[in-house]
Amino acid sequence: MNGLFGGGTSPAALRVEGLCYSVGDRQLLDGATLVAHPGETVGLVGTNGSGKTTLLRCIYGALRPDGGRVLLDGADTASLGAKPRARRIAAVPQENGASFGLTAREVAAMGRSPHKRFWEPDDAGDAALVEAALEHTGADRLASLPFDALSGGEKQRTLLARALAQQPALLVLDEPTNHLDVRHQLDLLTLLAGLATTCLLALHDLNLAAYFCDRLYVLDGGRMVAEGPPSEVLTEELLAEVYGVRAEVGRHPSTGAPTVVYLPGGEASGGS
């Protein structure tokens, strides 16, 4: 199944070097560096305003960084045009406004655009890819409904189908589990973790990040402050330092993943 979306594109290696971005005198990214190996699922965590979204937007090309480079398989993406970049990098952004009554299928079919000239219509191959993508994300039964009428979880599946129809070498997702209930969060992340494509996703829920991601990066004030496998990154000290919360980090007896239990009452020492 994944081979279909690979479609000749093998998963890419992503390397982000010293990325800087500022708005006015606010430095949103301050030399952020990150590596994702081919096929890896890499989680990006950090507090609100730590720069997660900005970093992802620089990677999928909605923002042009002030400094630093984004390398895909060693090639600088800044030298790519918007379209060639979109053939390699797909994104599920947070904003997904109204769509004027486009159906879910039409929204998913937009994923074929980077592979097409403007005036070139979709052919049967494109339609098959879109249909397969919708099926893979479980959005096939919604395909004929207006996108605007879908629930949050259904919209996410449709947007993920759109990204898969792009046949990307790298998939970037900005808090894809936002507004989803537990069941849909698990479904979506299971789906992502099973993709052959390299995935980089910003996540809020540390337990989900710990379970589903191969490696985690912790962003704080526009800088990477920790990286590594979840069991090494998620420590009580780090949570105190970055999030300013007291927490107990254990290891789940059946999944083996680190588990974070927040302890209310009183700020942690070292918290900012």
Question: Which parts of this chain interact with another protein (CB under 8 A)?
Answer: 57, 60-62, 81-87, 89-91, 93-103, 105-107, 109-111, 113-114, 116, 118-122, 124, 126-128, 130-131, 143-144, 148, 159, 162-163, 166, 172
Closest CB 228 distance from another protein, rounded Å:
28
Strands 14-23, 75-76: parallel, antiparallel or unpaired by DSSP? Answer: unpaired
Closest CB 213 distance from another protein, rounded Å:
21
Closest CB 94 distance from another protein, rounded Å:
7
> What backbone torsions phi and psi does residue 16 show, to the nearest 5 degrees?
-105, 125
Q: Which is nearer to another protein, 121 or 256 (CB)?
A: 121
In 3D, which of 18, 42, 15 has the Cα closest to residue 29? Answer: 18
Q: Which is nearer to another protein, 9 or 96 (CB)?
A: 96
In 3D, which of 106, 148, 96 has the Cα closest to residue 130? Answer: 106
Q: Which is nearer to another protein, 60 or 243 (CB)?
A: 60
Q: What are 116's two structure tokens?
A: 């097409």
Closest CB 81 distance from another protein, rounded Å:
8
In 3D, which of 111, 85, 224, 101 has the Cα closest to residue 166? Answer: 111
Q: How far apart are CA 16 and CA 99, in angstroms?
A: 32
Q: Which is nearer to another protein, 29 or 234 (CB)?
A: 29
